[in-house]
Amino acid sequence: MKLVAIYRQPPDSESFDQAYFGTHLPLLEKVPGLQRTVITRFSRTVMGEDLYLMAEMYFQDLEALKNGMRSPEMAAAGKNLNSFAEGLTTLLFAEEIEDGR
């Protein structure tokens, strides 16, 4: 089970990066039950929306994810996020269902 955050292209990517990697990720890493975070940087849009960054945050299962979401650590990370990424963020629960080849 994972929590996926997708960020659209920010107006100022340098200050976004400073806030994201400097303050947001360290707060996020304190969330109980979070096992692993994979960050993806989008480099070129072939079709559709201009996206900037994605974070995939892995938890043991749905219950662990829900517990993480309800934690004060996640509330702090979310509050921090709103200070620099409001309107840019899509946040979803997700599951990897196939790992082909």
Rule CB under 8 A: is residue 29 a binding residue for a second copy?
yes
Q: Hey, what are 43's tokens?
A: 């480099």
Size of the site for a second copy (CB under 8 A): 38
Nearer to a second copy, 15 or 40 (CB): 40
User: With respect to a second copy, which residue has the nearer C-beta, 18 or 93?
Assistant: 93
CB 31 within 8 A of CB 68: yes
Helix (H) or strand (E) holding 69: helix 62-69
Measure Cα distances from 73 to 13, 29, 32, 48, 77 in Å: 25, 9, 8, 34, 6
Q: Does 38 bind a second copy (CB under 8 A)?
A: yes
State yes or no: residue 25 binds a second copy (CB under 8 A). Answer: yes
The distance of closest approach from Cβ of residue 49 to a second copy in the complex, given in angstroms and rounded to an integer, is 5
